[in-house]
Amino acid sequence: MKPFLTALIAMLALPAFAQLEAPAFRIEGETVRVQETIVVKAGKTFDGRLPDGRWTRYVAHPKKLGSGSQKEGQKPLFLLMPGATLKHVILDKPSADGIHVVTARGKTTRIRGIQIRDVGEDAITIMKGSDKGTVLIDDCAFLKATDKVIQINGTATVIIDNCYAQNFGRFVRTNGDGPNLPYRVEIDDLKARNGQSILKMSNSKARATVSDVLYTNVDDVTTLSRGAKASVRNVEKIGKHKGFFRKIFASF
């Protein structure tokens, strides 16, 4: 292709791509190899930020917690009890079954500012039996998930705000086998790159809102069946300009 055409395409495509950049990689401080799940008690805060501003990096002991493969039944690195907060931690390979969350009515559990650099079996699980609490997941990044990132097995309201996901199967999945619980999911300000589905729900009473999403190379924004419903607003596929111009210039 002629150089000026390449330059023109790059100019047109670049501003769009710039919006979907990965968040800054945090510089890690010390690494902790977790042999036994770290429990954050109800209402308590666990902050992995070190005095010099770096974040602590956690990896699983593969024999004690799990290798981070797709095998079910692995243990989490962190277990958050109702109203707990987890922030400023890096989870890295192997991250086993990530973070488990137990909620309770009237309580808000927070996962704020964490980076999972290599998602294990999954990254965050809202545990079965969690009853109508709220889980707020914000300013987080999730990389390299073989399949699911956020697995919802309990009836909490799960709010996912200002997050980034790269390489995944399903970013959010409500339990596929269980009863038709009234799951609630809100996804806002998400950037997603390379995946199958941002939200998959197959439960008759599951409801979701999905808004302000930028994505590229994701097959489906929502995958809904058996009466699950989602309202979707302001979702933009990045890279369509490139495809459009590629088609036009392909005819030269």
Binding region for Ca ion (CB under 5 A): 97, 121-122
Cα-based distances in Å from 54 to 29, 36, 79, 141: 5, 23, 22, 16
Task: Specify whether the CB–CB gap between 144 and 121 falls below 8 A.
Answer: no
Ranges within 96-155 binding ligand ADA (CB under 6 A) = 121-122, 125, 151, 153
Task: Find the shortest distance in angstroms from Cβ 219 to Ca ion.
Answer: 20
Residue 97 or residue 118: which is nearer to Ca ion going by CB?
A: 97
Region of 78-86, 174-182, 214-222, 235-243 interacting with ligand ADA (CB under 6 A) = 174-182
Ranges within 51-70 binding ligand ADA (CB under 6 A) = none
Residue number of the CB atom closest to ligand ADA: 151
Residue 118 or residue 121: which is nearer to Ca ion going by CB?
A: 121
Residue 52 or residue 177: which is nearer to ligand ADA going by CB?
A: 177
Spell 136-159 as b/e; 16+ CB within 10 A means b: bbbbbbbbbbeebbbbbbbbbbbb
Cα-based distances in Å from 110 to 80, 154, 183, 184, 210: 9, 16, 18, 16, 19
Chosen from Ca ion, ligand ADA, none, partner binding at 175 (C-beta under 5 to 8 Å by type): ligand ADA
Task: Find the shortest distance in angstroms from Cβ 126 to ligand ADA.
Answer: 9
- The residue type found at 249 is F
Task: Give how many residues touch ligand ADA by CB under 6 A.
Answer: 9
Task: Specify whether the CB–CB gap between 239 and 216 falls below 8 A.
Answer: yes
Task: Specify whether the CB–CB gap between 13 and 19 falls below 8 A.
Answer: no
